[in-house]
């Protein structure tokens, strides 16, 4: 059985085209997960709406606890890291991580950054090899193949690779860097552009993104469970 971890980071709770001021990134994640269930109803899916229920922002106590060896943890340290432990456990269990997120002010929403800060953990998702000072970081989630699907929505156009505004896009590059750092290197990306333009530009982008999502679901299901996917 394949395990999916599914995150929505948009501050908008509704779906574009259905709810007033609805979210396009949520539309993409909803489409991905719906199509996944249609082909693999038995798979386990854990959902977190971090846009509406953001993780805690890390503080001094979190840093002190996370950089203390587990065998030396005091009770307050265990309590401080309880939320992080839960989020890390969900990620470690996942075969496919699905992240739906808008581009806010050239980067990721604060809620998604808070999630990243909670799951990049010394001793849990990354280790330090003192014997290799030139490259001391050891990604602990490279122990088995994991895939990350990044589904994004942008107000403008040209923010994708090779686009005129690509140099101002610090969302996907930041996410890819963080995920690679902990060992998730099989990254798949689909984006909608033109929310602020609307009209035919947005409609065409939405239609293309939905087609790409459908194709990506088929591709990943064939890779992960080749014998279970219908012809």
Q: Which of 52-66, 105-119, 129-143 has the lowest mean pLDDT?
A: 129-143
Residues 33-54 have pLDDT tens digits of 999 999 999 999 999 999 999 9
The residue-averaged pLDDT of 113-129 equals 96
Spatial separation of the C-alpha atoms in residues 7 and 48, rounded to whole Å: 5
- At residue 130, the pLDDT reads 87
- At residue 228, the pLDDT reads 44
Chain-centroid distance, C-alpha 196: 24
Q: How many CA atoms lie within 13 A of 7 on its CB side?
A: 28
Residues 6-38 have pLDDT tens digits of 999 999 999 998 888 899 999 999 999 999 999
Both structure tokens of 47: 């959902």
Torsion angle, CA of 214/142/50/100, rounded to 10 degrees? Answer: -20
**Strand pairing of 126-128 and 186-192?**
unpaired
Confidence of residue 226 (pLDDT cuts 50, 70, 90): low
Residue 160 CB burial class (10 angstroms; 0-12, 13-18, ≥19)? middle
- Indicate whether 227 pLDDT > 50: no
Distances (CA, A) of 145 to 52, 151, 178, 202, 212: 30, 20, 16, 34, 22
Read off the pTM.
0.94
Residues 164-223 have pLDDT tens digits of 999 999 999 999 999 999 999 999 999 999 988 999 999 999 999 999 999 999 999 999
Asked whether the beta carbons of 29 and 6 are under 8 A apart, the reply is: yes
| Cα dihedral across residues 153, 150, 222, 225: positive or negative | negative
Residues 138-171 have pLDDT tens digits of 999 999 999 999 999 999 999 999 999 999 999 9
Distances (CA, A) of 2 to 93, 182, 198: 9, 20, 37
Spatial separation of the C-alpha atoms in residues 189 and 99, rounded to whole Å: 10
Burial 76-96 (b: 16+ CB within 10 A, else e): ebeebbeebeebbebbbebbb
The residue-averaged pLDDT of 124-136 equals 92
The residue-averaged pLDDT of 96-105 equals 98
- At residue 231, the pLDDT reads 37
Structural domains of the chain, with CATH: 3-224 (3.40.50.360)
Is 24 a known ligand-binding residue? Answer: yes
Is 3 a known ligand-binding residue? Answer: no
Spatial separation of the C-alpha atoms in residues 227 and 5, rounded to whole Å: 22
């Amino acid at each position: 059985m394949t395990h999916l971890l599914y995150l929505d980071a948009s501050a908008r709770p509704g779906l574009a085209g259905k709810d007033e001021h609805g979210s396009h990134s949520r539309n993409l994640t909803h489409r991905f997960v719906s199509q996944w269930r249609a082909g693999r109803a038995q798979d386990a899916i854990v959902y977190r709406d971090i846009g509406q229920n953001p993780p805690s922002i890390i503080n001094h106590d979190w840093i002190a606890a996370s950089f203390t060896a587990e065998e030396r943890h005091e009770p307050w340290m265990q309590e401080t890291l309880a939320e992080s432990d839960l989020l890390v456990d969900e990620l470690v269990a996942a075969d496919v991580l699905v992240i739906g997120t808008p581009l806010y002010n050239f980067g990721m929403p604060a809620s998604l950054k808070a999630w990243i800060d909670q799951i990049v953990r010394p001793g849990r998702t990354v280790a330090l090899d003192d014997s290799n000072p030139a490259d001391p970081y050891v990604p602990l989630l490279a122990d088995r193949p994991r895939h990350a699907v990044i589904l994004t929505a942008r107000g403008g156009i040209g923010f994708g690779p090779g686009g005129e505004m690509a140099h101002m896009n610090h969302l996907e590059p930041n996410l890819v860097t963080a995920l690679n750092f902990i060992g998730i290197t099989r990254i798949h990306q689909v984006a909608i552009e033109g929310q602020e333009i609307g009209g035919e530009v947005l409609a065409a982008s939405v239609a293309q993104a939905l087609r790409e999502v459908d194709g990506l679901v088929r591709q990943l299901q064939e890779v992960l469970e080749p014998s279970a996917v219908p012809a």
